[in-house]
Amino acid sequence: MMSEITPLPTPLHSGKVRDLYDAGDGRLLMVASDRLSAFDVVLPTPIPDKGKILTQLSLWWFDRLSDVIDSHLITADVSQFPAPFTDRPELAGRSMLINKLNMVMVECVARAYLSGSATRQYTATGSVCGVALPAGLVEGSRLPETIFTPTTKAPVGAHDEPITYDQVVTEIGAEQAAAVRQLTVQILDRARSVCEPRGVIVADSKVEFGTTPDGQIVLADEVLTPDSARFWPASSWQPGSAQASFDKQPLRDWLSDTGQAYADPGPELPAEIVEATRARYVAAYEQITGLNWA
């Protein structure tokens, strides 16, 4: 008779997608679930493989950004995890053993194209997060250069609010503000240089940073996944309207069309929406990495 698997400890923190566990010795275990959020609500229906896709894509990017910035990653090999996490099949592919960091309490966003909330800011003010932009831009326009457009780091269920660079300086200090602005822009520009030859536009990205005990800034959480960046097929890019994208847009559209955007608790998702959303995540992974998703 097989023995029952010992339950995992209670997470230190559960976010919209990820659970964090104390792994001892200044380490955490970060587990990406298949949970999906939209319109600031975590929905009750999981998307199969989503957590694994996010984790594997982040690992792929950590490797390709290693000359730009170190990450919090120690290992993603389950056999190397400490007890009680060693050789847990349910953790394989979706988990990372990471260094505990002091998180930078600003959402760091870079944009190379105008889209979403940035378009609304620009239409109203001619600028985004205090960065003045040329006249005549529309949804989907390529910007003259990559810009830093930070936001507040709101708690789960609340909206991140756009802030200016001067507000970032006030929040975290001039030295750290300058460093994260430069790194955020560098990361998006590196992603663009990797993805554009593969037929993928990286319109914008959100990046999380933390600091080690000795003050080094490192990359945290996930990076350049469909949950934290906008990926558009280059073949269909046409400024002037919302772009096709490798993300959870089928879900957002369904929630909006059925009048359930921002409904809390969120509704159960129909099978066709689950499959369409999963297919977008798989397509993003495959086109960006050039690898097949098993």
pTM for the model stands at: 0.92
pLDDT band at residue 193 using 50, 70 and 90 as cut-offs: very high
CATH of span 103-247 = 3.30.470.20
CA distances from 174 to 68, 148, 213 (A): 21, 15, 19
pLDDT band at residue 5 using 50, 70 and 90 as cut-offs: low
- DSSP 8-state code for residue 77: -
CATH level 3 topology of 13-100: Phosphorylase Kinase; domain 1 (3.30.200)
pLDDT band at residue 261 using 50, 70 and 90 as cut-offs: confident
Residue 281: per-residue pLDDT: 94
Rounded distance between C-alpha atoms, residue 13 and residue 237, angstroms? 39
- CATH 3.30.470.20 residue ranges of the chain are 103-247
pLDDT band at residue 2 using 50, 70 and 90 as cut-offs: very low
- Detail the DSSP E strand segments found in 133-228: 142-148, 200-211, 217-220
pLDDT digits (tens, 9 = 90+) for 92-111: 999 999 999 999 999 999 99
Q: Scan for tokens 């099949």, then name that residue.
A: 89
- CATH 3.30.200.20 residue ranges of the chain are 13-100
pLDDT digits (tens, 9 = 90+) for 197-239: 999 999 999 999 999 999 999 999 999 999 999 999 999 999 9
